[in-house]
Chain A
Amino acid sequence: MSYPEAYRYTKEHEWVHVDGDHAKIGITDHAQHELGDIVFVDLPKSGSKVTKGHTFGSVESVKAVSDIYAPVSGEVVEPNPLLSKHPEKLNEDPHGEAWLIKVKLASPSEANDLLSAADYQKYIGAE
């Protein structure tokens, strides 16, 4: 699966796609692959705040629970409604349909220091 150039990535395997003062946040294909069959996704409600570097939810596979860390700070506009009924979509389309949350950014420049697609792929290749 390709890692979109327009996204920025974290070493904790989240991605963020900034669009003006809003952004979508998700987990990477590498992350879903490491987790295996995803069976449960716990996301914050609209209106709650997420803080860069802090956990905002969790993704559970058959075997394990993984915390998800916010790549940027902001206010949740919408958790992805698809994932409460169809958590398995995270295995199928983690960079697209199965985004986790939309946020209104506290500071749009916050994503600048995250990894590029090329650097992230280098990072997971070496991991």
Chain B
Amino acid sequence: MSPATGLKRTPLFDVHTASKAKMVDFGGWEMPVQYSSIIEEHNAVRNAVGLFDVSHMGEIEIHGPEAAKLVDYVSTNNAAKLKIGQAHYSALLYDHGGFVDDILVHKVAEHSFFLCVNASNQEKDFEHIRQHNEFNANVDFASDRYAQLAIQGPRAVPTLQKLTSTDLNGIKYYWFTDGTVAGTPARIARTGYTGEDGFEVYISPGEAQRVWGEIMHAGSEFGIKACGLGARNTLRLEAKMALYGHELTASTNPFEADLGWIVKMDKGEFVGRPALRELQQAITRKLAGFEMTERGIGRDGYEVWIEGKPAGWVTSGGPSPTLNKNIGLCYLPADCANPGVNLQIVIRKAPVSAVTVPTPFYKRAKA
């Protein structure tokens, strides 16, 4: 933590400031928003490879004979179906069906699960899981034991392959392997938050600076760029990946957020399920993608009108460097959330035209 600002720092803080990154307060963390240019960093990930410090993300480990039962009770996806070495996207919900957080669940061993959770939610998530631990399972707050690096882009495999003996092509999407990277033990997961191929690598914080340097060196022949949270946001928005605090909040539920696919209503009881049963019968609003059809950028929090009347709000919006359009996600009345609906986004008191479009905005070509 910085004594002056009270903000938390990752083990890579000195590397970021040495590379003249612009640092911002991101949910209590002093993080790089950009190193050179958000657009250049974004394009590096789409066309080559980018490296992100995501060590602010939290890790929670759940062990014990009933670890799977606890995970299944506190999260929406079906953890019992995970194979060892497999991961999935899931959510923690309140009793009323709103989001505590969205998470990644990794099954490490028969009685051992590894959760990756959002930085600013980690303490809340830990408490939430502990409170619901009526099982023979241990819940361990493990964030201090991990730094996390994301290597993302079409050149992620050849970059990382130079630093590991693990056959990276043998790791399928949303699977992971425990191996080494640059000689240090690493959990290597083929996951990401950019819409590109790539890996999220969990290592010891003490090794983070050295491994960062080795990855930058390994990727230099492909034009690797250090990427900040600015590019991370434009990349995930194009891929329509949700962000807690924006699309997902305590007052939105998985069905309206278009995340019904991570909710397994028939897997048995879980926190939030009784409320979801009711909510499922009466979906009033839905998340929709839009693009601006007039000059203007619809941004987070802006009001959305249909035929001149308030209809919803923008959850995330901004320029899409890949598509060269201004895009966004918004909540709309459920019967207006299909593509082709004319909207007005209220930009500094003026309604500016937009239209709902199919999502994701960007999908990578299959290899």
Contacts and interface: CB of A to CB of B under 8 A. Distances in A.
A36 B297 CA distance: 16
Interface in B55-92: none
Nearest to B319: A39
A65 interface: yes
Contact of B39 (A42, A58, A62, A65): A62
Interface string B42-66: 0000000000000000000000000
A62 B316 CA distance: 12
Q: Is the interface of B mostly helix, strand, loop or mixed?
A: mixed
A8 B233 CA distance: 37
A63 B38 contact: yes
Q: Contact size class for B?
A: 10 to 19
Interface in A12-67: 36-37, 39-40, 42, 58, 60-63, 65
A84 interface: yes
B230 interface: yes
Interface in B10-50: 22, 33-34, 37-39
Contacts of A40: 295-297, 319, 326
Given A62-B318, A63-B33, A36 B295 contact: no
Given A37-B38, A40-B296, A84-B295, A62 B234 contact: yes
Nearest to A91: B37
Contacts of B296: 40, 42
Nearest to A55: B348
B299 interface: yes
Contacts of B22: 36
Given A62-B39, A63-B230, A36 B319 contact: no
